[in-house]
Structure 1
Amino acid sequence: MAQYTPPLRDMQFVLHELLNVVDELKQLPAHADVDADTINAVLEEGGKFASQVIAPLNQIGDQEGCKLDKATHEVTTAKGFKEAYLQYVEGGWPALSCDPAFGGQGLPHVVNQCMYEMMNSANQAWTMYPGLSHGAYEALHAHGTDEQKKLYLPKLTSGQWTGTMCLTEPHCGTDLGLLRTKAEPQADGTYKITGNKIFISAGEHDMSENIVHLVLARLPDAPQGSKGISLFVVPKYNVTPEGKIGSRNGIYCGGLEHKMGIHGNATAQMVLDGAVGTLVGEPNKGLAAMFVMMNAARLGVGMQGLGLTEVAYQNAVAYAKDRIQMRSLSGVKAADKPADPIIVHPDVRKMLLTARAYAEGGRALSIWTTLLLDKELSSEDEDERKDAADLVALLTPIVKAFLTDNAWISTSHCMQVFGGHGYIAEWGMEQFVRDARINMIYEGTNTIQSLDLLGRKVLADNGAKLKKFGKIVRDFVEEEGTNEAMQEFVNPLAELGEKVTKLTTEIGMKAFQNPDEVGAAAVDYLRVCGHLVFGYFWARMAKIALAKVDGGDPFYKAKLHTARFYFAKLLPETATLIRTARAGAKPMMDVEESLF
């Protein structure tokens, strides 16, 4: 069975040495009292929960899956899942970054994000249950009525109730403008909702006493397309005005999907048969309200990719140090053994360092993005809130797509390190690969994220958001311009920054003539931008490591080696990506349909 050790040392490095989060948070009145000791203590305890409580359940959940009683429509989760969730609730973990007005602890989102990385490493399928609840909390907190907040937020904050998002229907996934679920207004101000939803993660389970579904549906007079979508809160059990559990509502699980991975999470087909719901936000403006939840989920899926990258790396390293096969090409390394450990072989090291570089780069990016989110939500300076919001908007598709693409690469590499044993279930590596693959698909496929980045976040405002990040990169490059020790990092970073500017302009000009040029370049473009962001953070991390490497702590020596590997072996991928992005739409779109 796979093992997991929370990467607390690297988290503390990113939080306190790279980003100085305590100083940053002191500028935000809501978090001015948070100190490093508090953050470290919370994450240490969170790491114990992840590694000791839910990690041992990961393989059990994969093997047992979830079971549906078709007569009652009730779903039973895998052995130990429910008990672990009760322990999670008793520990106060659901309330970590929630509003104190509803029983939350009010800690910054950046702490919660680190907690979720660890839980995703330990057990992604289990973590999806509370993860979706947090998204439902965010949507209701931002757009719910006072009555809805009073009824639902305290129970979601405590974890007593869980939440879901019900978007997808059998005939439409990303194109929500096609959805058919209907909402009929009632005399008492409620709505009766009828339709079918599929692929609803955590849609039905036995871990909490009620499930709060956020459902997209159409009103009778709604305009066609995405402009006619409204959002409704539809609980599994109706809720009395006093906040008590009432009668069973008309929303139930009609089937469970049999999936490639994340078997421990109930991916449900949900049937709404006159289910009672209440409107969230304004009529026909549901997509804007749901995007609060969707954006939170996209950052959360990035954390799933990061978590799997980290745990796969840890297990592959341990195996590579122990497994002996052949001799080193440069001479015997373990003379007391009949063969050398496979970690002596260059390609094994390349696979391991790829996973390590993507894990540590992803951790820096995700923590910084969440720190920006804290500023967007809590800063008293309007300009700072605006700048933070722009950067979060720019980075969200990168966090979702780049981190999950990298997780697919990394988990595959780490399984490869195990050779034939990687293919065998008992080691746990093949589960990481299967679980990682879904993260590139749901919450908007990575192609959708790429179109969002290039079309909405870059070209739509003539590159204003991208320029804000570009300035951050340029300022750092100029600061280190005369530092000889940093040239191996800042020179390729500066060069890539210039190439991204030129590529963006070129694609924008071509898109005026043919919008398909955006679709043809978007996936390659996002990956190039992902490397620009990673390159920036790896250069900054290298600077810190260079200043401390002579102090004797092997952590900084390892960090410096990983930075050099990233710039030498991973960043150069951008040359190919830029070339293929520039190749444009013609090689695909000139092919007649009949020739496929």
Structure 2
Amino acid sequence: MSQYTAPLDDIRFILDDVLDAQSQFARLGYADASPDVVDAVLEEAARFTGSVLAPLNAVGDQQGCRHDPATGDVATPEGFKAAYGQFVEGGWPGLTADPQHGGQGLPHLVGLSVSEMINAANLAWGNFPLLSHGAVEALIQHGEDWQRDVFLPPLVEGRWTGTMCLTEPHCGTDLGLLRTRAEPADDGSYAITGTKIFITAGEHDFTDNIVHLVLAKLPDAPPGAKGISLFATPKFKVARDGSVGERNAVRCGSIEHKMGIKGSATCVMNFDGAQGWLVGEQHGGLKAMFTMMNSARLGVGLQGLGLSERAWQNALRYSRERLQSRALTGPKFPDKPADPIIVHPDVRRMLLSVKALTEGSRMLAMHAGSLLEEAAHASDPAERERAETLVGFLTPISKACQTEWGIENTYNALQCFGGHGYIAEHGMEQLARDARITTLYEGTTGIQAMDLIGRKTAYSQGAGLKLLLADVETFCAAHADDPELAANVAALRARCVEWTALTTEILQASAADPDELGAAAHDYLFYSGYVVLGYWWLRASVAARASARPAAFKDAKRETARFYFARILPRTLAHAAAIRGGAGSLMDLDADSFGA
């Protein structure tokens, strides 16, 4: 069975040494987020996730959820409901929520670290409370006063959970095709009718009520995505005065049988004239949906990070214990019958790749969290706008790269086990299966790539890219003459120059042939991700050198940075070549000629 211990040393290093988070907390008015409080929260989260959630990970995979076709009820795996009770009792659902809605008002960065721990300990369990955060954000930003008063306290406390009901059997990314209808009722509510699929935590036994945020079309809706509205449609009816009534006409028709995250209920939800309340403006559901979606995308990126961390810990432990052959340079442990496999270069290649991408992903994720703080609480409107633009640019990079790297990392970690990694008892194959979904839900990697090159670059004239490049150049200029960093600074600067050139080339080519945008999107996304991680590994090198942490910890950071620049950043060369290969090699083959 795989094991998990929260990486508190690395989380603290990023908070304290890389980001200087306490200065930000003080500047933004987080009076209660003192070092002692933050440390206590992280310690307790590590205890809860390590001792309560992690042991249930294999249980959820083995038992899965059970659906009763007669009632539509869903039973979760053994221990899941009790763990959720402890989660609520500990106040975890409202950790970062506004105190006026019953939350504790701690910074997003703290909640982000707790979310990573949950995902690493038990990804399937973590899916049940995951979307409640997006529902809360949507209601705060787009709901009416009475909706905030009625729905937010139980969602924040965790007495209710939320879902996001977008996808339909015939309609995934192209929401303009959805068929779910909303008919006005005399009391100001709407009757919601339609079927939604792939609804995470659409039904379960954790809470008394579930608030479904449902996309649907009004009778007078214009065609396409501009005709979508959003409706709060609870499992049990909720009146304007907050009273909870009879069971609503919404029911789980079935649950999916999946490759991974088997302990998470993935539901088909049938709405048969269910009472729903309009959230936001009529035909304004797309805007509200993106409030939920952007929150969920950053959350799913953390899932890739969490799985990478757990895979890394177990691969490292096994590689230190497993004896196999002798080192190429001679025995390292002559008193043993063979050396541990960590002496072998190829095992080290896999381990260091996992380490570099995992720890780099953590810095990327926590940077996004710090930008969310600025966007929400900075006193200067210009600073808020700057942070919002930058985090918007980084969101598709974070979601796609952290999850795709999660697949790579769980694969490499499993590979370190050899044939033992393929056997269930070690738990590595579950991590690899669980990781696969993270690149699919909340927008596939291809969707993130198009979002980055399209909405976040072409349509915004590169606003977010320019801000990020300016930050990178400021850092590089300050450290260009540093003997230890000079070569890597020069390499990063060269990649940034090429990043700018590639962006210009893609946009110019797409003006003549729109397919050039889509043809370049995937490689542009990963080129961007590797450059961003290069920036954060340089910053980690500087922070480690100045840190008061143990020498072994600091040396490991600097050596991992060296590995990143030598072995991983060069991946950008292949992505640049593919981009410059153009759309022709993709689009010229007639569809009928692909094969039988």
Q: Residues 52-108 of structure 1: CA distance to partner in whole angstroms, max 9, x if unpaired?
A: 111100000001000001101000000000000000000000010001111110111
Q: 2 CA distance for matches of 1:33 and 1:276?
A: 40
Matched residue, 2:17: 17
Q: 2 CA distance for matches of 1:33 and 1:3?
A: 33
The AA in structure 2 aligned to 1:19 is: L
Q: Is the 8 A contact 2:67 2:75 kept in 1?
A: yes
Report how far residue 37 of structure 1 moved: 1.9
Report how far residue 33 of structure 1 moved: 4.3
Report how far residue 326 of structure 1 moved: 1.1
Once the two structures are superposed, the pairs formed by residues 218-257 of structure 1 within 5 Å of their partners are 218-257=217-256
1:507 aligns with 2:512: no
1:4 aligns with 2:4: yes
SS at match of 1:26: helix
Q: Residues 243-270 of structure 1: CA distance to partner in whole angstroms, max 9, x if unpaired?
A: 3431000111000100000000000000
Q: 1 CA distance for matches of 2:56 and 2:239?
A: 35
Matched residue, 1:579: 577
Matched residue, 2:91: 92
Q: 2 CA distance for matches of 1:121 and 1:396?
A: 20
After superposing the two structures, state which structure 1 stretch, 185-194 or 460-469, moved more. 460-469
Q: Is the 8 A contact 1:545 1:556 kept in 2?
A: yes
Once the two structures are superposed, the pairs formed by residues 479-498 of structure 1 within 5 Å of their partners are 479-498=478-497
Matched residue, 1:340: 339
1:545 aligns with 2:544: yes
Q: 1 CA distance for matches of 2:499 and 2:163?
A: 38
Matched residue, 2:559: 561
- Taking a change above 3 Å as real, the CA distance of residues 137 and 86 of structure 1, as seen in their structure-2 partners, is same
Report how far residue 351 of structure 1 moved: 0.6
SS at match of 1:495: helix
Matched residue, 1:447: 446
Q: 1 CA distance for matches of 2:185 and 2:560?
A: 61
Q: 1 CA distance for matches of 2:31 and 2:521?
A: 40
Once the two structures are superposed, the pairs formed by residues 415-454 of structure 1 within 5 Å of their partners are 415-454=414-453
SS at match of 1:72: coil
Q: Residues 502-558 of structure 1: CA distance to partner in whole angstroms, max 9, x if unpaired?
A: 100110110100111010000100101101110000001111223459x85211011
Matched residue, 2:352: 353
Matched residue, 2:528: 529
Q: Is the 8 A contact 1:26 1:33 kept in 2?
A: no
The AA in structure 1 aligned to 2:377 is: S
The AA in structure 1 aligned to 2:156 is: T
SS at match of 2:481: coil
Q: 2 CA distance for matches of 1:53 and 1:76?
A: 19
Matched residue, 1:26: 26
Q: Residues 409-458 of structure 1: CA distance to partner in whole angstroms, max 9, x if unpaired?
A: 00000000011110011111001111111010110101110110011111
Q: Is the 8 A contact 2:17 2:544 kept in 1?
A: no
Q: Is the 8 A contact 1:66 1:263 kept in 2?
A: yes
The AA in structure 2 aligned to 1:3 is: Q
The AA in structure 2 aligned to 1:310 is: E
In the superposition, the TM-score normalised over structure 1's length comes to 0.98
Q: 2 CA distance for matches of 1:529 and 1:25?
A: 29
Q: 2 CA distance for matches of 1:488 and 1:255?
A: 57
Report how far residue 486 of structure 1 moved: 1.0
Report how far residue 489 of structure 1 moved: 2.1
Q: 1 CA distance for matches of 2:270 and 2:546?
A: 59
Q: 2 CA distance for matches of 1:140 and 1:121?
A: 28
Once the two structures are superposed, the pairs formed by residues 29-428 of structure 1 within 5 Å of their partners are 29=29, 31-428=30-427
Q: Is the 8 A contact 2:165 2:199 kept in 1?
A: yes
Q: Residues 278-309 of structure 1: CA distance to partner in whole angstroms, max 9, x if unpaired?
A: 00000001010011110000000000000000
Unpaired runs of at least 5, structure 1: none
Q: 2 CA distance for matches of 1:547 and 1:277?
A: 55
The AA in structure 2 aligned to 1:25 is: F
SS at match of 1:112: helix
Report how far residue 241 of structure 1 moved: 4.2
Report how far residue 465 of structure 1 moved: 1.6
Q: 1 CA distance for matches of 2:397 and 2:483?
A: 31
SS at match of 1:63: helix
Q: 1 CA distance for matches of 2:550 and 2:107?
A: 33
Q: 2 CA distance for matches of 1:230 and 1:241?
A: 19
The AA in structure 2 aligned to 1:586 is: G
Q: 1 CA distance for matches of 2:243 and 2:36?
A: 39
- Taking a change above 3 Å as real, the CA distance of residues 548 and 108 of structure 1, as seen in their structure-2 partners, is closer
Q: Residues 466-491 of structure 1: CA distance to partner in whole angstroms, max 9, x if unpaired?
A: 11100000011110111111113211
Q: Is the 8 A contact 1:16 1:36 kept in 2?
A: no
From 557, 568, 571, the counterpart of 1:570? 568
Q: 2 CA distance for matches of 1:306 and 1:190?
A: 41
Using the aligned pairs only, state the percent identity: 54
Report how far residue 141 of structure 1 moved: 1.2
Report how far residue 593 of structure 1 moved: 1.1
SS at match of 1:73: coil
SS at match of 1:484: coil
Matched residue, 1:593: 591
The AA in structure 2 aligned to 1:270 is: M
Q: Is the 8 A contact 1:22 1:35 kept in 2?
A: yes
The AA in structure 1 aligned to 2:255 is: L
Q: 2 CA distance for matches of 1:467 and 1:331?
A: 51
Report how far residue 216 of structure 1 moved: 0.2
Q: 1 CA distance for matches of 2:268 and 2:14?
A: 40
Q: 2 CA distance for matches of 1:134 and 1:48?
A: 22
The AA in structure 2 aligned to 1:296 is: S
In the superposition, the TM-score normalised over structure 2's length comes to 0.98
Q: 1 CA distance for matches of 2:17 and 2:574?
A: 34
SS at match of 2:574: helix
Q: 2 CA distance for matches of 1:189 and 1:245?
A: 17
Q: 2 CA distance for matches of 1:373 and 1:545?
A: 25
Q: 2 CA distance for matches of 1:381 and 1:545?
A: 31
SS at match of 1:194: strand
Q: Is the 8 A contact 2:147 2:240 kept in 1?
A: no
Q: Is the 8 A contact 1:230 1:282 kept in 2?
A: yes
Q: 2 CA distance for matches of 1:316 and 1:589?
A: 41
Q: 1 CA distance for matches of 2:493 and 2:402?
A: 22
SS at match of 1:85: helix
SS at match of 2:308: helix
SS at match of 1:269: strand
Q: Is the 8 A contact 2:203 2:267 kept in 1?
A: yes
